[in-house]
Structure 1
Amino acid sequence: MNERAVLDRLASLRQNQYQGRRAPHKPPLVLLALGRLANKGSSELSWSEAESQLAKLIAEFGPESKTGGAQSAAYPFTRRRSDGVWTLSRDVPMDLVRPLAADDVVGRLEVSLETALHRDPQLLRSAARALVDSHFPATVAPDVLVAVGLDPDDVLQVEVQPTTAPRRRDPAWRAAVLQAWDRQCAFCGYDGQLGFASVGVEAAHIRWFAFDGPDSLDNGLALCVLHHKLFDLGALGLDSSLRINVSTVFTARTRAGRALYDLHGQELKPRPGKAVPADGHVSWHRREVFKGKPLAA
Protein backbone atom coordinates (compact mmCIF):
# COMPACT_ATOMS: atom_id res chain seq x y z
CA MET A 1 0.00 0.00 0.00
CA ASN A 2 1.51 3.33 -1.06
CA GLU A 3 1.36 6.68 0.74
CA ARG A 4 -1.64 7.97 -1.21
CA ALA A 5 -3.64 4.81 -0.53
CA VAL A 6 -2.89 5.01 3.20
CA LEU A 7 -3.95 8.64 3.48
CA ASP A 8 -7.05 8.04 1.35
CA ARG A 9 -8.06 5.16 3.63
CA LEU A 10 -7.72 7.31 6.73
CA ALA A 11 -9.55 10.20 5.04
CA SER A 12 -12.68 8.04 5.24
CA LEU A 13 -12.86 8.98 8.93
CA ARG A 14 -13.35 12.58 7.84
CA GLN A 15 -15.81 11.79 5.06
CA ASN A 16 -18.19 10.07 7.45
CA GLN A 17 -19.00 13.37 9.16
CA TYR A 18 -22.33 15.00 8.40
CA GLN A 19 -23.21 18.70 8.27
CA GLY A 20 -20.29 19.79 10.41
CA ARG A 21 -21.01 17.33 13.22
CA ARG A 22 -17.95 16.02 15.00
CA ALA A 23 -17.20 12.30 15.03
CA PRO A 24 -15.44 12.19 18.41
CA HIS A 25 -15.13 8.42 18.65
CA LYS A 26 -13.22 7.89 15.41
CA PRO A 27 -9.89 9.76 15.46
CA PRO A 28 -8.87 8.95 19.06
CA LEU A 29 -8.87 5.20 18.38
CA VAL A 30 -6.75 5.47 15.22
CA LEU A 31 -4.38 8.00 16.79
CA LEU A 32 -3.98 5.74 19.83
CA ALA A 33 -3.16 2.86 17.48
CA LEU A 34 -0.62 5.02 15.62
CA GLY A 35 1.02 5.91 18.92
CA ARG A 36 1.29 2.27 19.90
CA LEU A 37 2.69 1.37 16.48
CA ALA A 38 5.33 4.09 16.74
CA ASN A 39 6.39 3.12 20.26
CA LYS A 40 5.84 -0.66 20.38
CA GLY A 41 6.09 -1.75 16.76
CA SER A 42 2.50 -3.00 16.79
CA SER A 43 -0.87 -1.26 16.85
CA GLU A 44 -2.46 -4.08 18.88
CA LEU A 45 -4.77 -2.79 21.58
CA SER A 46 -6.64 -5.11 23.92
CA TRP A 47 -10.09 -4.16 25.11
CA SER A 48 -8.89 -4.05 28.72
CA GLU A 49 -6.43 -1.31 27.67
CA ALA A 50 -8.79 0.46 25.30
CA GLU A 51 -11.64 0.57 27.79
CA SER A 52 -9.87 3.12 29.97
CA GLN A 53 -7.44 4.80 27.57
CA LEU A 54 -9.89 5.36 24.75
CA ALA A 55 -12.74 6.47 27.01
CA LYS A 56 -10.43 9.01 28.60
CA LEU A 57 -9.35 10.41 25.21
CA ILE A 58 -12.94 10.72 24.02
CA ALA A 59 -14.01 12.45 27.24
CA GLU A 60 -11.08 14.87 27.17
CA PHE A 61 -11.05 15.83 23.50
CA GLY A 62 -14.57 15.08 22.27
CA PRO A 63 -17.86 16.89 22.81
CA GLU A 64 -20.23 15.98 25.62
CA SER A 65 -21.27 12.32 25.36
CA LYS A 66 -24.53 10.78 26.51
CA THR A 67 -22.83 7.45 27.17
CA GLY A 68 -19.27 7.92 28.43
CA GLY A 69 -17.02 5.31 30.00
CA ALA A 70 -16.68 1.86 28.51
CA GLN A 71 -19.69 2.31 26.25
CA SER A 72 -18.17 5.34 24.49
CA ALA A 73 -14.99 3.31 23.89
CA ALA A 74 -16.94 0.31 22.58
CA TYR A 75 -18.43 2.34 19.71
CA PRO A 76 -15.21 2.96 17.76
CA PHE A 77 -13.60 -0.30 18.92
CA THR A 78 -16.35 -2.34 17.26
CA ARG A 79 -17.52 -0.03 14.49
CA ARG A 80 -14.22 0.91 12.87
CA ARG A 81 -14.24 -2.46 11.10
CA SER A 82 -16.75 -1.08 8.63
CA ASP A 83 -14.33 1.33 6.95
CA GLY A 84 -11.41 -1.06 6.46
CA VAL A 85 -9.16 0.68 8.99
CA TRP A 86 -9.59 -1.52 12.06
CA THR A 87 -9.81 -5.29 12.69
CA LEU A 88 -10.67 -7.40 15.75
CA SER A 89 -9.28 -10.75 16.90
CA ARG A 90 -12.79 -12.20 16.89
CA ASP A 91 -16.20 -11.20 15.62
CA VAL A 92 -18.36 -9.43 18.21
CA PRO A 93 -21.67 -7.55 17.97
CA MET A 94 -21.51 -3.83 17.37
CA ASP A 95 -21.36 -1.57 20.44
CA LEU A 96 -21.68 -4.29 23.10
CA VAL A 97 -19.21 -4.13 25.99
CA ARG A 98 -19.82 -7.55 27.56
CA PRO A 99 -18.53 -9.68 24.62
CA LEU A 100 -15.43 -7.46 24.38
CA ALA A 101 -14.65 -7.93 28.06
CA ALA A 102 -15.45 -11.65 28.17
CA ASP A 103 -12.53 -12.60 25.92
CA ASP A 104 -10.51 -9.36 26.17
CA VAL A 105 -10.82 -8.91 22.40
CA VAL A 106 -7.79 -7.38 20.68
CA GLY A 107 -8.04 -4.77 17.96
CA ARG A 108 -5.43 -3.48 15.55
CA LEU A 109 -5.05 -1.49 12.36
CA GLU A 110 -5.85 -3.43 9.20
CA VAL A 111 -2.79 -5.52 8.26
CA SER A 112 -1.81 -3.86 4.96
CA LEU A 113 -2.34 -0.42 6.53
CA GLU A 114 -0.23 -1.27 9.56
CA THR A 115 2.52 -2.79 7.41
CA ALA A 116 2.80 0.35 5.28
CA LEU A 117 2.88 2.62 8.32
CA HIS A 118 5.40 0.48 10.20
CA ARG A 119 7.70 0.38 7.18
CA ASP A 120 7.70 4.17 6.78
CA PRO A 121 7.83 6.23 10.02
CA GLN A 122 7.47 9.43 8.00
CA LEU A 123 4.19 8.11 6.58
CA LEU A 124 3.02 7.34 10.11
CA ARG A 125 3.70 10.93 11.13
CA SER A 126 1.93 12.18 7.99
CA ALA A 127 -1.11 10.06 8.84
CA ALA A 128 -1.19 11.43 12.39
CA ARG A 129 -0.83 14.99 11.10
CA ALA A 130 -3.68 14.52 8.63
CA LEU A 131 -5.94 13.17 11.37
CA VAL A 132 -5.35 15.92 13.92
CA ASP A 133 -5.62 18.62 11.25
CA SER A 134 -8.99 17.23 10.16
CA HIS A 135 -10.50 16.78 13.60
CA PHE A 136 -8.96 19.31 15.99
CA PRO A 137 -7.94 22.99 16.03
CA ALA A 138 -4.27 23.94 16.29
CA THR A 139 -4.66 24.84 19.98
CA VAL A 140 -5.69 21.28 20.87
CA ALA A 141 -3.74 19.13 18.37
CA PRO A 142 -0.45 19.03 20.38
CA ASP A 143 -2.29 17.84 23.51
CA VAL A 144 -4.03 15.08 21.57
CA LEU A 145 -0.73 13.87 20.14
CA VAL A 146 0.96 13.82 23.54
CA ALA A 147 -2.00 11.90 24.99
CA VAL A 148 -1.61 9.11 22.40
CA GLY A 149 2.17 8.89 22.78
CA LEU A 150 3.27 10.84 19.71
CA ASP A 151 5.71 13.76 19.69
CA PRO A 152 3.93 16.92 18.47
CA ASP A 153 7.22 18.46 17.35
CA ASP A 154 7.79 15.48 15.03
CA VAL A 155 4.24 15.20 13.75
CA LEU A 156 3.24 18.84 13.27
CA GLN A 157 6.28 19.72 11.19
CA VAL A 158 5.31 17.15 8.53
CA GLU A 159 3.80 18.52 5.32
CA VAL A 160 0.81 16.49 4.15
CA GLN A 161 -0.59 16.52 0.64
CA PRO A 162 -4.39 16.74 1.07
CA THR A 163 -6.56 14.01 -0.42
CA THR A 164 -9.01 16.62 -1.71
CA ALA A 165 -8.66 20.28 -2.62
CA PRO A 166 -8.36 22.08 0.73
CA ARG A 167 -10.39 25.11 1.71
CA ARG A 168 -8.30 28.22 1.54
CA ARG A 169 -7.94 30.32 4.65
CA ASP A 170 -8.34 34.07 4.36
CA PRO A 171 -4.90 35.52 5.20
CA ALA A 172 -6.50 38.79 6.30
CA TRP A 173 -8.96 37.17 8.73
CA ARG A 174 -6.72 37.12 11.81
CA ALA A 175 -5.83 40.82 11.61
CA ALA A 176 -9.47 41.74 10.94
CA VAL A 177 -10.69 39.82 14.01
CA LEU A 178 -8.08 41.37 16.30
CA GLN A 179 -8.92 44.84 15.04
CA ALA A 180 -12.66 44.23 15.45
CA TRP A 181 -12.15 43.36 19.12
CA ASP A 182 -9.73 46.26 19.77
CA ARG A 183 -6.79 43.84 19.98
CA GLN A 184 -7.90 42.58 23.38
CA CYS A 185 -9.30 39.32 24.71
CA ALA A 186 -13.08 39.35 24.36
CA PHE A 187 -13.34 37.43 27.65
CA CYS A 188 -10.83 38.99 30.05
CA GLY A 189 -9.68 42.17 28.31
CA TYR A 190 -5.98 41.24 28.16
CA ASP A 191 -4.34 43.48 25.54
CA GLY A 192 -0.57 43.01 25.81
CA GLN A 193 1.60 44.46 23.07
CA LEU A 194 5.28 44.29 22.25
CA GLY A 195 6.05 47.39 20.24
CA PHE A 196 3.19 47.60 17.75
CA ALA A 197 2.38 43.87 17.77
CA SER A 198 -0.21 42.14 19.95
CA VAL A 199 1.35 39.46 22.15
CA GLY A 200 -0.67 36.53 23.46
CA VAL A 201 -3.91 37.57 21.75
CA GLU A 202 -5.17 35.31 18.96
CA ALA A 203 -8.04 35.10 16.50
CA ALA A 204 -10.25 32.16 17.48
CA HIS A 205 -12.83 30.44 15.31
CA ILE A 206 -16.10 29.85 17.16
CA ARG A 207 -17.11 27.12 14.73
CA TRP A 208 -13.82 25.39 13.93
CA PHE A 209 -12.40 25.94 10.46
CA ALA A 210 -12.01 22.17 10.01
CA PHE A 211 -15.77 21.80 10.50
CA ASP A 212 -16.90 24.32 7.90
CA GLY A 213 -16.32 27.37 10.09
CA PRO A 214 -15.93 30.40 7.80
CA ASP A 215 -13.24 33.07 8.00
CA SER A 216 -15.83 35.73 8.79
CA LEU A 217 -16.05 38.31 11.54
CA ASP A 218 -19.24 36.74 12.92
CA ASN A 219 -17.27 33.50 13.45
CA GLY A 220 -14.30 35.09 15.21
CA LEU A 221 -13.28 36.17 18.68
CA ALA A 222 -10.07 37.78 19.83
CA LEU A 223 -8.96 35.66 22.80
CA CYS A 224 -5.84 35.53 24.92
CA VAL A 225 -3.83 32.33 24.55
CA LEU A 226 -5.22 30.83 27.75
CA HIS A 227 -8.87 31.54 27.03
CA HIS A 228 -8.50 30.48 23.39
CA LYS A 229 -7.31 27.05 24.51
CA LEU A 230 -9.99 26.72 27.16
CA PHE A 231 -12.61 27.77 24.58
CA ASP A 232 -11.41 25.10 22.14
CA LEU A 233 -11.31 22.46 24.90
CA GLY A 234 -14.89 23.23 25.92
CA ALA A 235 -14.18 24.68 29.36
CA LEU A 236 -15.50 28.05 28.16
CA GLY A 237 -18.41 28.80 25.88
CA LEU A 238 -21.17 31.27 25.07
CA ASP A 239 -24.90 31.11 25.62
CA SER A 240 -27.54 32.39 23.20
CA SER A 241 -27.38 35.85 24.82
CA LEU A 242 -23.60 36.00 24.25
CA ARG A 243 -22.80 35.64 27.92
CA ILE A 244 -19.71 33.67 28.87
CA ASN A 245 -20.30 30.18 30.22
CA VAL A 246 -17.78 28.37 32.41
CA SER A 247 -18.23 24.60 32.46
CA THR A 248 -18.83 22.65 35.66
CA VAL A 249 -16.21 20.23 34.33
CA PHE A 250 -13.50 22.86 34.87
CA THR A 251 -12.04 23.00 38.37
CA ALA A 252 -9.24 25.02 39.98
CA ARG A 253 -7.81 25.47 43.47
CA THR A 254 -5.46 28.47 43.26
CA ARG A 255 -6.53 32.10 43.06
CA ALA A 256 -5.20 32.35 39.51
CA GLY A 257 -7.13 29.29 38.37
CA ARG A 258 -10.32 30.19 40.18
CA ALA A 259 -10.30 33.60 38.49
CA LEU A 260 -11.88 31.80 35.54
CA TYR A 261 -15.08 31.39 37.55
CA ASP A 262 -15.43 35.17 37.61
CA LEU A 263 -15.96 35.18 33.85
CA HIS A 264 -19.17 33.18 34.15
CA GLY A 265 -22.22 35.20 33.20
CA GLN A 266 -20.28 38.18 31.87
CA GLU A 267 -21.67 39.58 28.63
CA LEU A 268 -19.46 40.12 25.61
CA LYS A 269 -18.96 43.80 24.86
CA PRO A 270 -18.08 44.09 21.16
CA ARG A 271 -17.11 47.41 19.67
CA PRO A 272 -20.13 49.34 18.33
CA GLY A 273 -20.83 48.41 14.73
CA LYS A 274 -18.89 45.14 14.93
CA ALA A 275 -20.48 41.94 13.62
CA VAL A 276 -21.41 39.95 16.73
CA PRO A 277 -20.95 36.15 16.82
CA ALA A 278 -23.65 34.49 14.72
CA ASP A 279 -26.22 32.32 16.48
CA GLY A 280 -25.43 29.34 14.25
CA HIS A 281 -21.74 29.35 15.09
CA VAL A 282 -22.36 29.85 18.80
CA SER A 283 -24.88 26.99 18.91
CA TRP A 284 -22.43 24.75 17.00
CA HIS A 285 -19.75 25.40 19.64
CA ARG A 286 -22.22 24.83 22.46
CA ARG A 287 -23.32 21.50 20.93
CA GLU A 288 -20.02 20.19 19.58
CA VAL A 289 -17.34 21.58 21.91
CA PHE A 290 -18.65 22.84 25.26
CA LYS A 291 -18.42 20.19 27.97
CA GLY A 292 -20.87 19.44 30.74
CA LYS A 293 -23.21 22.11 32.05
CA PRO A 294 -22.58 25.80 32.73
CA LEU A 295 -21.95 26.89 36.30
CA ALA A 296 -25.01 27.98 38.22
CA ALA A 297 -25.82 31.66 37.88
Structure 2
Amino acid sequence: MALPTEDVLARLATLRQHQSQGKRSPHKPLLVLLALGRLVNTGSSALPWPVAVTSLADLIQDYGPPSSAPRAQSAAYPFTRLRTDGVWILDHDVPMDRVRPLADHQVVGRLEPAVEQALRDPAVALAVARQLVEAEFPPTVAPDVLAAVGLDPEAILTTAPPAPLSRRRDSAWPATILTAWDRQCAFCGFDGQLGSAVVGIEAAHIRWFNFDGPDDPDNGLALCSLHHKLFDRGALGLTADLCIQVSRSFSARTDAGRAVYELDRRTLRPRPGTTPPSPGHVDWHTREVFKSPALR
Protein backbone atom coordinates (compact mmCIF):
# COMPACT_ATOMS: atom_id res chain seq x y z
CA MET A 1 0.00 0.00 0.00
CA ALA A 2 1.26 3.47 -0.89
CA LEU A 3 1.83 5.98 1.88
CA PRO A 4 -0.16 9.22 1.97
CA THR A 5 1.66 12.14 0.35
CA GLU A 6 2.05 13.93 3.68
CA ASP A 7 3.78 10.90 5.21
CA VAL A 8 6.23 10.60 2.33
CA LEU A 9 7.08 14.30 2.48
CA ALA A 10 7.50 14.12 6.26
CA ARG A 11 9.82 11.10 6.09
CA LEU A 12 12.04 12.73 3.49
CA ALA A 13 12.04 16.10 5.25
CA THR A 14 13.78 14.46 8.22
CA LEU A 15 16.89 13.84 6.08
CA ARG A 16 17.79 17.47 6.73
CA GLN A 17 17.84 16.87 10.49
CA HIS A 18 21.21 15.15 10.17
CA GLN A 19 22.79 18.50 9.35
CA SER A 20 23.89 20.95 12.02
CA GLN A 21 25.70 24.26 12.45
CA GLY A 22 25.43 25.12 8.78
CA LYS A 23 27.37 22.06 7.61
CA ARG A 24 26.18 20.78 4.25
CA SER A 25 25.49 17.06 3.91
CA PRO A 26 23.42 16.49 0.76
CA HIS A 27 24.50 12.86 0.29
CA LYS A 28 21.20 11.21 1.30
CA PRO A 29 18.97 13.70 -0.56
CA LEU A 30 21.11 13.20 -3.68
CA LEU A 31 20.67 9.43 -3.40
CA VAL A 32 16.88 9.79 -3.06
CA LEU A 33 16.79 12.14 -6.07
CA LEU A 34 18.89 9.69 -8.09
CA ALA A 35 16.56 6.82 -7.18
CA LEU A 36 13.52 8.99 -7.98
CA GLY A 37 14.98 9.80 -11.38
CA ARG A 38 15.40 6.08 -12.08
CA LEU A 39 11.84 5.42 -10.94
CA VAL A 40 10.43 8.09 -13.25
CA ASN A 41 12.50 6.96 -16.23
CA THR A 42 12.56 3.17 -15.83
CA GLY A 43 9.60 2.34 -13.60
CA SER A 44 11.86 1.11 -10.79
CA SER A 45 14.01 2.86 -8.21
CA ALA A 46 16.41 -0.10 -8.05
CA LEU A 47 20.01 1.14 -8.01
CA PRO A 48 22.81 -1.47 -8.24
CA TRP A 49 25.98 -0.59 -6.35
CA PRO A 50 28.15 -0.73 -9.52
CA VAL A 51 25.96 2.06 -10.92
CA ALA A 52 25.76 3.99 -7.66
CA VAL A 53 29.50 3.96 -7.09
CA THR A 54 29.86 6.00 -10.27
CA SER A 55 26.69 8.05 -10.65
CA LEU A 56 26.15 8.83 -6.96
CA ALA A 57 29.83 9.58 -6.44
CA ASP A 58 29.70 12.01 -9.37
CA LEU A 59 26.70 13.81 -7.87
CA ILE A 60 28.37 14.11 -4.48
CA GLN A 61 31.60 15.37 -6.01
CA ASP A 62 29.85 17.89 -8.26
CA TYR A 63 27.16 19.18 -5.89
CA GLY A 64 28.38 18.34 -2.39
CA PRO A 65 30.81 20.29 -0.22
CA PRO A 66 34.56 19.94 -0.83
CA SER A 67 35.83 16.61 0.47
CA SER A 68 38.99 14.54 0.41
CA ALA A 69 37.13 11.25 0.94
CA PRO A 70 37.58 8.58 -1.75
CA ARG A 71 34.73 8.56 -4.27
CA ALA A 72 33.52 5.06 -3.41
CA GLN A 73 33.50 5.87 0.30
CA SER A 74 31.47 9.02 -0.32
CA ALA A 75 28.85 6.95 -2.15
CA ALA A 76 28.86 4.11 0.41
CA TYR A 77 27.89 6.43 3.25
CA PRO A 78 24.38 7.36 1.99
CA PHE A 79 23.91 4.02 0.19
CA THR A 80 24.18 2.10 3.48
CA ARG A 81 22.96 4.68 6.01
CA LEU A 82 19.76 5.80 4.27
CA ARG A 83 18.26 2.54 5.62
CA THR A 84 17.98 4.14 9.05
CA ASP A 85 15.57 6.78 7.71
CA GLY A 86 12.87 4.28 6.76
CA VAL A 87 12.90 5.11 3.05
CA TRP A 88 15.62 2.82 1.64
CA ILE A 89 16.31 -0.91 1.61
CA LEU A 90 19.17 -3.11 0.40
CA ASP A 91 18.82 -6.64 -0.98
CA HIS A 92 21.73 -7.81 1.17
CA ASP A 93 22.50 -6.94 4.77
CA VAL A 94 25.89 -5.22 4.82
CA PRO A 95 27.72 -3.11 7.45
CA MET A 96 27.41 0.65 7.45
CA ASP A 97 29.89 2.60 5.33
CA ARG A 98 31.81 -0.46 4.08
CA VAL A 99 32.67 -0.42 0.37
CA ARG A 100 34.03 -3.96 -0.02
CA PRO A 101 30.83 -5.85 0.99
CA LEU A 102 28.78 -3.69 -1.38
CA ALA A 103 31.05 -4.69 -4.26
CA ASP A 104 31.44 -8.35 -3.21
CA HIS A 105 27.68 -8.94 -3.04
CA GLN A 106 26.73 -6.64 -5.95
CA VAL A 107 24.18 -5.07 -3.61
CA VAL A 108 21.10 -3.40 -5.05
CA GLY A 109 19.36 -0.59 -3.16
CA ARG A 110 15.90 0.79 -3.76
CA LEU A 111 13.27 2.97 -2.17
CA GLU A 112 11.16 1.25 0.47
CA PRO A 113 8.16 -0.36 -1.33
CA ALA A 114 5.46 1.84 0.23
CA VAL A 115 7.50 4.97 -0.52
CA GLU A 116 8.18 3.82 -4.09
CA GLN A 117 4.49 3.10 -4.65
CA ALA A 118 3.54 6.57 -3.43
CA LEU A 119 6.12 8.15 -5.72
CA ARG A 120 4.58 6.50 -8.76
CA ASP A 121 1.99 9.29 -8.53
CA PRO A 122 3.53 12.06 -10.69
CA ALA A 123 2.20 14.80 -8.40
CA VAL A 124 3.84 13.21 -5.37
CA ALA A 125 7.11 12.69 -7.24
CA LEU A 126 7.19 16.34 -8.31
CA ALA A 127 6.46 17.55 -4.78
CA VAL A 128 9.17 15.34 -3.25
CA ALA A 129 11.78 16.34 -5.82
CA ARG A 130 11.08 20.03 -5.27
CA GLN A 131 11.15 19.69 -1.48
CA LEU A 132 14.51 17.90 -1.53
CA VAL A 133 16.28 20.09 -4.06
CA GLU A 134 15.10 23.43 -2.65
CA ALA A 135 16.09 22.43 0.88
CA GLU A 136 19.64 21.62 -0.20
CA PHE A 137 20.56 23.99 -3.03
CA PRO A 138 20.12 27.62 -4.11
CA PRO A 139 18.01 28.51 -7.18
CA THR A 140 21.13 28.76 -9.37
CA VAL A 141 22.07 25.13 -8.68
CA ALA A 142 18.74 23.31 -8.17
CA PRO A 143 17.94 22.95 -11.91
CA ASP A 144 21.39 21.46 -12.59
CA VAL A 145 20.92 18.85 -9.85
CA LEU A 146 17.50 17.82 -11.16
CA ALA A 147 18.79 17.49 -14.72
CA ALA A 148 21.76 15.45 -13.50
CA VAL A 149 19.47 12.83 -11.92
CA GLY A 150 17.22 12.64 -14.99
CA LEU A 151 14.33 14.79 -13.79
CA ASP A 152 12.70 17.73 -15.58
CA PRO A 153 13.71 20.96 -13.77
CA GLU A 154 11.02 23.10 -15.38
CA ALA A 155 8.19 20.68 -14.53
CA ILE A 156 9.37 20.34 -10.93
CA LEU A 157 10.26 23.93 -10.11
CA THR A 158 7.24 25.54 -11.81
CA THR A 159 4.51 22.91 -11.43
CA ALA A 160 5.02 21.33 -8.02
CA PRO A 161 3.97 23.44 -5.02
CA PRO A 162 6.95 24.84 -3.07
CA ALA A 163 7.65 23.44 0.36
CA PRO A 164 6.63 25.67 3.28
CA LEU A 165 9.49 27.98 4.29
CA SER A 166 10.64 28.21 7.88
CA ARG A 167 11.31 31.92 7.31
CA ARG A 168 10.50 34.46 4.64
CA ARG A 169 12.94 36.19 2.33
CA ASP A 170 13.26 39.97 2.49
CA SER A 171 11.77 41.14 -0.80
CA ALA A 172 13.80 44.37 -0.66
CA TRP A 173 17.15 42.61 -0.20
CA PRO A 174 18.02 42.03 -3.91
CA ALA A 175 17.52 45.69 -4.81
CA THR A 176 19.52 46.76 -1.76
CA ILE A 177 22.47 44.56 -2.77
CA LEU A 178 22.43 45.66 -6.41
CA THR A 179 22.39 49.32 -5.39
CA ALA A 180 25.18 48.83 -2.86
CA TRP A 181 27.44 47.35 -5.54
CA ASP A 182 26.60 50.00 -8.17
CA ARG A 183 24.46 47.56 -10.17
CA GLN A 184 27.53 45.83 -11.56
CA CYS A 185 29.20 42.48 -11.04
CA ALA A 186 31.56 42.62 -8.05
CA PHE A 187 33.84 40.13 -9.82
CA CYS A 188 34.06 41.27 -13.45
CA GLY A 189 32.36 44.67 -13.55
CA PHE A 190 29.63 43.72 -16.05
CA ASP A 191 26.87 46.36 -15.81
CA GLY A 192 24.35 45.53 -18.53
CA GLN A 193 21.07 47.38 -18.83
CA LEU A 194 18.10 46.94 -21.15
CA GLY A 195 16.41 50.30 -21.32
CA SER A 196 16.26 51.46 -17.72
CA ALA A 197 16.35 47.95 -16.26
CA VAL A 198 19.41 46.09 -15.00
CA VAL A 199 19.88 42.85 -16.94
CA GLY A 200 22.14 39.91 -16.12
CA ILE A 201 23.06 41.19 -12.64
CA GLU A 202 21.77 39.30 -9.62
CA ALA A 203 21.95 39.51 -5.84
CA ALA A 204 23.93 36.53 -4.60
CA HIS A 205 23.95 35.15 -1.06
CA ILE A 206 27.43 34.29 0.19
CA ARG A 207 26.04 31.95 2.85
CA TRP A 208 23.03 30.29 1.20
CA PHE A 209 19.62 31.38 2.43
CA ASN A 210 18.51 27.77 2.99
CA PHE A 211 21.54 27.28 5.26
CA ASP A 212 20.63 30.17 7.56
CA GLY A 213 22.17 32.84 5.37
CA PRO A 214 20.54 36.15 6.35
CA ASP A 215 19.19 38.80 4.01
CA ASP A 216 21.76 41.26 5.36
CA PRO A 217 24.04 43.63 3.44
CA ASP A 218 27.14 41.74 4.61
CA ASN A 219 25.84 38.47 3.12
CA GLY A 220 25.37 39.69 -0.42
CA LEU A 221 27.24 40.42 -3.62
CA ALA A 222 26.00 41.76 -6.93
CA LEU A 223 27.17 39.22 -9.52
CA CYS A 224 26.53 38.70 -13.21
CA SER A 225 24.52 35.57 -14.00
CA LEU A 226 27.64 33.63 -15.02
CA HIS A 227 29.72 34.46 -11.97
CA HIS A 228 26.73 33.97 -9.66
CA LYS A 229 26.41 30.42 -11.00
CA LEU A 230 30.13 29.74 -10.71
CA PHE A 231 30.16 31.16 -7.16
CA ASP A 232 27.27 28.93 -6.07
CA ARG A 233 28.84 25.88 -7.73
CA GLY A 234 32.13 26.47 -5.92
CA ALA A 235 34.22 27.30 -8.99
CA LEU A 236 34.73 30.78 -7.54
CA GLY A 237 35.19 31.85 -3.95
CA LEU A 238 36.60 34.56 -1.71
CA THR A 239 39.62 34.65 0.57
CA ALA A 240 39.58 36.11 4.07
CA ASP A 241 41.11 39.32 2.70
CA LEU A 242 38.34 39.53 0.04
CA CYS A 243 40.30 38.41 -2.99
CA ILE A 244 38.56 36.27 -5.59
CA GLN A 245 39.84 32.72 -5.81
CA VAL A 246 39.33 30.29 -8.67
CA SER A 247 39.08 26.57 -7.99
CA ARG A 248 41.79 24.38 -9.44
CA SER A 249 38.97 22.00 -10.43
CA PHE A 250 37.61 24.58 -12.88
CA SER A 251 38.86 24.26 -16.44
CA ALA A 252 38.09 25.90 -19.76
CA ARG A 253 39.42 25.68 -23.31
CA THR A 254 38.18 28.80 -25.13
CA ASP A 255 39.37 32.35 -24.54
CA ALA A 256 35.95 33.24 -23.12
CA GLY A 257 36.09 30.41 -20.59
CA ARG A 258 39.73 30.94 -19.71
CA ALA A 259 38.94 34.56 -18.82
CA VAL A 260 37.70 33.15 -15.49
CA TYR A 261 41.30 32.30 -14.59
CA GLU A 262 42.11 36.00 -14.73
CA LEU A 263 39.79 36.64 -11.78
CA ASP A 264 42.08 34.70 -9.44
CA ARG A 265 43.50 36.96 -6.70
CA ARG A 266 41.58 40.01 -7.94
CA THR A 267 40.58 42.13 -4.93
CA LEU A 268 36.97 43.18 -4.41
CA ARG A 269 36.56 46.94 -4.55
CA PRO A 270 33.17 47.92 -3.11
CA ARG A 271 32.22 51.56 -3.40
CA PRO A 272 32.66 53.75 -0.30
CA GLY A 273 29.89 53.10 2.19
CA THR A 274 29.11 49.57 0.94
CA THR A 275 29.13 46.98 3.71
CA PRO A 276 31.85 44.41 2.90
CA PRO A 277 31.16 40.68 3.12
CA SER A 278 31.19 39.29 6.65
CA PRO A 279 34.21 37.10 7.48
CA GLY A 280 31.84 34.53 8.96
CA HIS A 281 29.80 34.22 5.76
CA VAL A 282 32.94 34.08 3.62
CA ASP A 283 34.34 31.33 5.86
CA TRP A 284 31.10 29.33 5.49
CA HIS A 285 31.27 29.56 1.70
CA THR A 286 34.93 28.51 1.71
CA ARG A 287 34.23 25.47 3.92
CA GLU A 288 30.92 24.33 2.45
CA VAL A 289 30.89 25.41 -1.21
CA PHE A 290 34.26 26.38 -2.70
CA LYS A 291 35.99 23.47 -4.44
CA SER A 292 39.43 23.86 -2.92
CA PRO A 293 42.29 24.12 -3.57
CA ALA A 294 42.53 27.41 -5.42
CA LEU A 295 44.65 27.97 -8.51
CA ARG A 296 47.31 29.63 -6.34
Please state which band the TM-score falls in when normalised by the shorter chain: over 0.9
Q: Could you tell me which residue of structure 1 aligns to residue 9 of structure 2?
A: 7
Q: Distance in 1 between matches of 2:159 and 2:127?
A: 6
Matches within 5 A, 1:1-297: 1-118=3-120, 120-160=121-161, 162=163, 166-296=166-296
1:90–1:105 contact (8 Å) kept in structure 2: yes
Q: Distance in 1 between matches of 2:294 and 2:188?
A: 18
1:245–1:265 contact (8 Å) kept in structure 2: yes
Shift of 1:161: 5.6
TM-score (norm 2): 0.97
Shift of 1:274: 1.1
1:55–1:68 contact (8 Å) kept in structure 2: no
TM-score (norm 1): 0.97
Give deviations 1:244-283, integer Å, cap 9, x for gaps.
0000000111111110011000110011111110011000
2:25–2:65 contact (8 Å) kept in structure 1: no
Inter-CA distance 96–126: structure 2 relative to 1 (3 Å threshold): same
2:92–2:105 contact (8 Å) kept in structure 1: no
1:36–1:149 contact (8 Å) kept in structure 2: yes
Inter-CA distance 162–145: structure 2 relative to 1 (3 Å threshold): closer
Give deviations 1:111-168, integer Å, cap 9, x for gaps.
11111111x11110110000010000100111101100001111111343636x5210
The SS at the match of 1:87 is strand
Q: Which runs of 5+ in 2 are unaligned?
A: none
The SS at the match of 1:156 is helix
Shift of 1:19: 1.2
Q: Distance in 1 between matches of 2:236 and 2:61?
A: 16
Give deviations 1:77-97, integer Å, cap 9, x for gaps.
001111112111111001111
Q: Distance in 1 between matches of 2:240 and 2:268?
A: 11
Give deviations 1:167-222, integer Å, cap 9, x for gaps.
10000000000000000000000000011111000000000001000001100000
1:230–1:236 contact (8 Å) kept in structure 2: yes
Q: Which amino acid aligns with 1:15?
A: Q
Q: Which amino acid aligns with 1:265?
A: R
2:219–2:281 contact (8 Å) kept in structure 1: yes
User: Structure 1 residue runs of 4+, over 6 Å off?
Assistant: none
Inter-CA distance 210–182: structure 2 relative to 1 (3 Å threshold): same
RMSD of the alignment, in Å? 1.0
Q: Which runs of 5+ in 1 are unaligned?
A: none
2:247–2:293 contact (8 Å) kept in structure 1: yes
2:181–2:221 contact (8 Å) kept in structure 1: yes
Identity %: 63
Q: Which amino acid aligns with 2:168?
A: R
Q: How many residues align?
A: 294
